[in-house]
Structure 1
């Protein structure tokens, strides 16, 4: 009876849950690792597509760029292959002598636009294959190695799960055998055996129960959970340590993927916005040149004002173009260039932009300073003054 209770305790729902959760954690780790390299190879493929002209125009520069991409994304080996699996290019630190092309089936799947992930547990590595959109006959083939200890732990988790369920399926036979021995052996030996069984069950179940609660926390998304190595058994200590490492790596991978996605989204928005801003600048500039060439000789009255207005507009268009270029470099503001400039003239030019269009508004400049020259960034101060005047005019119109 005592032995039966011990066996049932070994194979009760809690123990089954911890075994299943351990296998689930191992599976989640593999999926996170695969999703990580999938995200990295897609990002790397996008970068290579944008700069693939270097492959044919400047091989040394492309080699350096290819190496930097692999190091930045922590990919140990990166190759460019054709549709027949032949090696075309590789990072300078890749082991080309041991290069093995992916199967023809995988290349055909990648040819159809799929991102192929290949896990090789025997070599402790995960491979990824994707087609480059810039050249449909060239594929990016990346290899990332996995920590051997982690792979070994994943193998042990699977073996332990298989062994556990094998024992569970044979538990009835164990109970019958013990019942036969129980009839033969004297009561004193039965008592000792029963006590030993209970002790073993408690010793096994206590650390496993801790692992159950930790695994449940991970399953609901709490990756901050930690297991303290307070067990006497070295195997459980190592299991706890590996469990903690796995949760930390999963958390790090999730954070990295989320950060990478945010950066890519901002970069895309910045470049698209800069492109839309710059589109109308060229026709505006050409129109200014045509106006200046066509009418500068015909205007005799206020000709200096006419040319001054055109120069101001041209300078503002040029400033917008510079700002758009800077914004294209991931939406960062240009660094100020401080030079000696005439502040009074800058203010007068800014007012002149609105005098013609705002006939009902009287502009008065009360400049009491005796000093005109100051050190500042001409473009940025001009934008500030224009914004101030624009906001003031909008406020006046709203009150009317």
Structure 2
């Protein structure tokens, strides 16, 4: 922005300078015109220094205007070029060429103006004019002298002939001889005696060396009138001769004509002198105009020279900028991704040509390398996609760290295990996301099992850490369910053994206590009450032990489910109804969008599972009412919802009881309970029943207070089991056989 502001201020300054120079130039022109027209005598020359000063004073602002105009043209041409710059190169070349042309030109103009002015001043000085006039006077005097000589010779010859005519006749040979002698001795070339008769007709009385013309035509009325007016002779100068006429007998109208050939060289010199003097007078009258014209010519030529220099500067700048502009245009295309672009191969072997060839080599290499890089990137992209597909398909979480502990790669399973779904974990520190992993890396632990709090759940993770030069790769897997299955299998085996070892002596003990009560109870006397109380205690405790053993047996050896098509809504309603009747103070709410929800299931086992879940919800509400003084049993609420969407069936139970414990992942483990009288087998049995129905069960916090239990079934999987009835039949037979064995054993004990 600051640079743009400076450029704008610079343009404004240049614009003001242009107007100032234009006004100065106009003022100087007007001032010079007024000064020149104000001179009193416009034929007088202006002094050379003043003329040169006026010329230079007008020339300098004119050159500045021309340079500024050239600057505008340069900027416009630069803006239209491929570079599209502010035209600094053009402007600098214009300024340089203008300076190189203007400085010597001004010196030459000053010198030429002064030289011409002083020359003109000398040419039109009095001295030069005097020389020309003297030469002309000499030529005129020489020519006039010749004319006087011819006239005087003619007068003298006329006197001699006049005397001779007194002695002889004009037609006599003596007169003719004397006449010829007179003409030749006086160096005349021709002569004639013309007589006018009474009739007014001129006749040639005598002639010497006459030319082809009639001499009578030489004596005109104007000549006769001049002679009669008192002129002694009349001389006429022709181009080739000097003619003179005088009177022999003025009364008798007899005239003498004489002519001498002119000196052609002298005549031409005299005529030339007259022409030179005439031309000189004409030039002198136009001397000031010529002076101004010469200075104007110098002014125009100077501007033409500067303009030519500007034009050369623009041409040179264009030639210099054109390859640079081609390079800039090619560079822009390269930045846009067109690596196949090339600049025209320059023919010049200068720096610009070298730069163009280097640019072409560079783009050629870039194109080759880019093609190779694109190919490599495609291969890397394919490999990366393959690796990402593999990473997304594995069940383990994988995190790649750089040397600084920043996450470079993480799969979706890792985000799910860390409860960070949807978060952008790239470039974040592992210490922020999972401090447990950061501690393992700091302690150089490669393989271990840790407990990790994922949101509100505690998970058991098996962690493996591999150190690399570029960082670490962490692989971890959730083994919570695996450990739970292992513990459940172990507890199932333990339960089976306990049931086998404890159940066998329970029946004889109970039967023995009952027999003692019947046989000896009435014969004891004073100790009968105590005896009866003791035997009753034995029977009751044996019954309690039998119940525990029965639960062990149920958990260790649950019967196989009998899958038949049934209505899930009826099963849920029945379980809710039983609990609602047993616990009238608690509000049970059942919701179902459809009254008929078909499901292939074991009605008895599924009802048992729902009953166990409802019992746990009731016990959680009772526990909260005991621990929370602000919560009464009547405030308890249990909401059951059956929903069928997206091909799945779900049963959602929400209560407002005490809620889940901290180690909520272990609540489905066998013998895991938070109540004093609980066996810890209820939810374990529920988990097993749900799994045998190919379903999933999850525990979470309810939207309000309490616990949410969600059971999801896949009807399509269960539908394939609907016609399998062999297993249930075998199971029923086994149950009946086991009951018969129990009855036979009881009879033997009684005996």
Q: Larger helix proportion, structure 1 or 2?
A: 1
Pair member with larger Rg: 2
TM over 0.5: no
Larger RCO, structures 1/2 (Cα 8 Å, 6+ apart): 1
Q: Larger strand proportion, structure 1 or 2?
A: 2
- With structure 2 as the length reference, what TM-score do the two structures score? 0.24
